[in-house]
């Protein structure tokens, strides 16, 4: 473990995030991953990479983290790599970027046959491509999340339909979870062996939210039809509610629907996050860095979305739409050391922000790195997969690290100090 002195350099930062251009946030994330300068990242020489743990305006004056570089792999995007809840595997889009019409599941969208998926095993100081990875069928579109059995994929069909499957981490076996003649897309696995996706006819944009129970194949799914002719872009489970991003006549809305047996589909929360005239591309931006709750979560877990109006990450189903930090492009909720709060990524790097400080409007933060690493939570307490820029690569690539926050908490002190005192 290392306790590094604070230092300031600009590092590799994501570009500005225009609120309306198609895929702008995704492009910023991809740029952050692929690298944008010549400054080297953490060395891959077998030693944990020292990173500054800078504490600003907080009640602790030091924090101990360990960032272990695992390796560098090619990356194409635009969707982010998907890790297993255990943090032992990673699925990465490679080759040519998936065309935007295919990402958005638009009618008539055609795949790029150069796009492919590769899957890696993550081990201390090593990233190894799994031997079955190169034999995955084409075209497959990487899904939004995974469980410890496998990761989600989507397969466009010749008739315009779209199927949802799961690829086993162990051997690459592809199991179809949702088939048929409709467009099934933007799926996420959820606690309780459930799968949430959106579904529409091939020739219609009227979209339902569908919840499948995977342990009872053949059972009719739970279906919610958004009100007022809204189109559901994507949905996920958050606690005992369905959270969904809807494209409506008045703009882009974030909606929380009840899953209760007595009020199924009742709207419990609704807020507009962009005005009328938006495109599905903006809806994708909202969820570009979103990490759905882990399927292993046993308690309600907050997630964060990108709010175009705030130009920052906000807690998704928070009625107050609390801004986690100005200019943030990714965020992940954590309750382990150094405390109850959020890991947030911005141009300034990766920080920990205590929840109580955010709620009180205080600027307390612990600076973990000056590089815009994107955090991916795992089910192992205190361990977080980090995706970051790889300087010096001849092709777009992503660097993979493991952040270990399981060090002993620091002793409390009487007077708060800034990182300059470290």
Tens digits of residue pLDDT in 110-133: 899 999 999 999 998 899 999 999
Cα–Cα distance for residue pair 114/139, rounded to 1 Å: 9
Q: What is the predicted pLDDT for the residue at 244?
A: 94
Closest CA to 95 of 82, 113, 83, 79: 113
Per-residue model confidence as pLDDT tens digits over 236-246: 998 889 999 99
Which of 8, 1, 4 is CA-nearest to residue 51?
4
DSSP-assigned beta bridge partners for residue 196 = 188, 211
Note the pLDDT of residue 268. 92
CA atoms within 13 A on the CB side of 133: 18
Using one digit for the tens of pLDDT, what is the confidence trace for 217-239?
Answer: 788 999 999 988 788 889 999 88
- CA–CA gap between residue 100 and residue 106 (Å, rounded): 9
Give every CB contact of residue 356 below 8 A, 6+ residues apart in sequence: 340
Dist CA 107 CA 103 (whole Å): 11
Q: How far apart are CA 395 and CA 97, in angstroms?
A: 13
| Cβ pair 62, 411 in contact under 8 A | no
What's the angle, vertex CA 297, arms to CA 295 and CA 299, rounded to 5? Answer: 140
Closest to 300 in 3D by CA, of 357, 235, 362, 241:
241
**Burial of residue 33, with CB atoms counted within 10 A of its CB: 0-12 exposed, 13-18 middle, 19 or more buried:** buried
In the prediction, which pLDDT does 298 show?
A: 65
- Bridge partners, 27 (sequence order): none
The pair of structure tokens assigned to 102 is 């295919």
The 3 state secondary structure assigned to 115-177 is CEEEEEEEECCEEEECHHHHHCCCCCEEEEEECCCEEEEEEECCCCCEEEEEEECCCCCEEEE
Percentage of residues in the chain with pLDDT exceeding 70? Answer: 80
Taking only the tens place, the pLDDT of each residue in 1-51 is 333 322 222 222 222 323 333 334 444 455 445 433 323 233 223 333 333
pTM: 0.83
């Amino acid at each position: 473990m290392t306790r590094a002195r604070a230092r300031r350099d600009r590092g590799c930062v994501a570009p500005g995030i225009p609120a309306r251009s198609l895929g702008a946030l995704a492009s910023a994330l991809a740029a952050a991953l692929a690298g944008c300068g010549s400054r080297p990242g953490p060395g891959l020489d077998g030693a944990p990479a020292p990173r500054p743990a800078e504490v600003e305006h907080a009640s602790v004056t030091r924090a101990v983290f360990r960032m272990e570089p695992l390796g560098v792999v090619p990356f194409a995007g635009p969707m982010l790599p998907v890790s297993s809840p255990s943090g032992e595997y990673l699925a990465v889009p490679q080759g040519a970027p998936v065309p935007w019409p295919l990402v958005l599941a638009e009618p008539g969208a055609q795949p790029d046959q150069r796009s492919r998926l590769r899957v890696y095993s993550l081990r201390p100081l090593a990233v190894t491509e799994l031997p079955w990875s190169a034999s995955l069928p084409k075209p497959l579109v990487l899904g939004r999340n995974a469980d410890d059995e496998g990761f989600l994929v989507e397969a466009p069909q010749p008739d315009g339909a779209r199927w949802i499957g799961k690829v086993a981490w162990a051997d690459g076996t592809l199991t179809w979870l949702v088939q048929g003649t409709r467009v099934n897309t933007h799926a996420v696995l959820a606690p309780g062996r459930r799968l949430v996706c959106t579904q529409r006819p091939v020739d219609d944009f009227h979209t339902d939210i569908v919840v499948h129970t995977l342990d009872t194949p053949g059972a009719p799914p739970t279906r919610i039809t958004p009100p007022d002719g809204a189109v559901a872009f994507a949905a996920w489970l958050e606690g005992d509610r369905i959270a969904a991003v809807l494209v409506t006549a008045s703009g882009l809305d974030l909606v929380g629907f009840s899953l209760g047996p007595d009020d199924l589909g009742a709207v419990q929360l609704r807020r507009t996050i962009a005005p009328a005239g938006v495109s599905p591309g903006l809806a994708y931006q909202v969820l570009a860095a979103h990490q759905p709750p882990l399927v292993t979560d046993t308690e309600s877990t907050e997630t964060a979305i990108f709010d175009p109006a705030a130009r920052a990450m906000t807690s998704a189903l928070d009625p107050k739409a609390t801004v986690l930090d100005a200019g943030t492009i990714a965020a992940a909720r954590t309750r382990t050391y150094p405390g109850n709060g959020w890991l947030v990524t911005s141009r300034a790097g990766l920080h920990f922000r205590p929840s109580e400080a955010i709620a009180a409007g205080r600027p307390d933060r612990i600076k973990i790195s000056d590089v815009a690493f994107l955090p991916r939570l795992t089910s192992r307490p205190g361990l977080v997969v980090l995706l970051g820029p790889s300087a010096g690569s001849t092709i777009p690539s992503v660097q993979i690290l493991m952040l270990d926050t399981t060090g002993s908490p620091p002793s409390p002190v009487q007077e708060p100090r800034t990182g300059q005192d470290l």
